[in-house]
């Protein structure tokens, strides 16, 4: 069953509202604008989220973006992935299907995949180790198709011989 994104937006807003009230924090427009933006995009890094919002004329400071991200992680609406040194990306987490990632080490693009067999492995591991698994993270790093093709193309072109003539 698909969960409409409008309905999703309503629900995440409610969760964030309750969370802020519980923490006795201000429910500012900026915080909700950041939340809405996040639920309209895929993986992102904190700085480009800030730049994107600036470009859309939102009046948000960098500090607000970073602080809000921390709050959204705390209340479970956003997930942070560490894909490498100085390479962290965020993504929406509410009602979002369990998935794993492929990260291209050339262009840093992120692809998602979902394979039910991984769930079977998880189940097996739970049974064998009597371990109640809450979640898992799996990242495959390598070269994406586009980068692979670019590499092949540049390898096929004969090197230019510099002429001094």
Positions that interact with Zn ion (CB under 5 A): 91, 104, 106-107, 112, 144, 147
The CB-of-152 to Zn ion minimum distance in angstroms stands at 13
Cβ proximity to Zn ion, 64 vs 91, nearer residue: 91
Sign (positive/negative) of CA torsion 35, 70, 136, 112?
A: positive
**What is the C-alpha separation between 108 and 57, in angstroms, rounded?**
27
Cβ proximity to Zn ion, 18 vs 106, nearer residue: 106
The CB-of-66 to Zn ion minimum distance in angstroms stands at 20
Task: Reduce the secondary structure of 103-146 to three states and give it as a string.
Answer: EECCCCCEEEECCHHHHHHHHHHHHHHCCCCCCCCCEEEECCHH
Please check if 115 is assigned to a binding site: no
Cβ proximity to Zn ion, 19 vs 111, nearer residue: 111
Residue (of 124, 146, 145, 154) closest to 136 by Cα position: 124
Cβ proximity to Zn ion, 97 vs 130, nearer residue: 97
The CB-of-100 to Zn ion minimum distance in angstroms stands at 8
Please check if 114 is assigned to a binding site: no
Q: What is the phi/psi pair of residue 126, to 5°?
A: -60, -45
Alpha-carbon dihedral 127, 130, 134, 136, rounded to 10 degrees = -60
Please check if 75 is assigned to a binding site: no
The CB-of-163 to Zn ion minimum distance in angstroms stands at 34
The annotation places the binding site for Zn(2+) at 104, 107, 144, 147
The annotation places the binding site for Fe cation at 100, 136
């Amino acid at each position: 069953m698909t969960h409409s994104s409008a309905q999703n937006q309503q629900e995440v807003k409610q969760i964030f509202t309750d969370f802020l009230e519980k923490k006795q924090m201000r429910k500012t427009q900026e915080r909700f604008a950041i939340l809405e933006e996040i639920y309209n995009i895929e993986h992102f890094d904190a700085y480009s989220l800030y730049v994107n919002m600036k470009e859309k004329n939102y009046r948000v400071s960098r500090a607000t973006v970073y602080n809000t991200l921390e709050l959204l992680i705390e209340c479970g609406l956003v997930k942070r992935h560490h894909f490498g040194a100085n390479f962290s990306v965020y993504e929406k987490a509410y009602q979002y299907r369990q998935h794993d990632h492929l990260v291209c080490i050339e262009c840093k693009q992120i692809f998602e995949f979902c394979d039910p067999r991984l769930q079977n492995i998880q189940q097996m591991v739970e049974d064998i180790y009597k371990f109640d698994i809450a979640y898992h993270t799996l990242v495959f790093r390598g070269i994406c198709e586009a980068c692979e093709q670019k590499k092949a193309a540049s390898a096929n072109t004969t090197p230019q011989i510099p002429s001094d003539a």
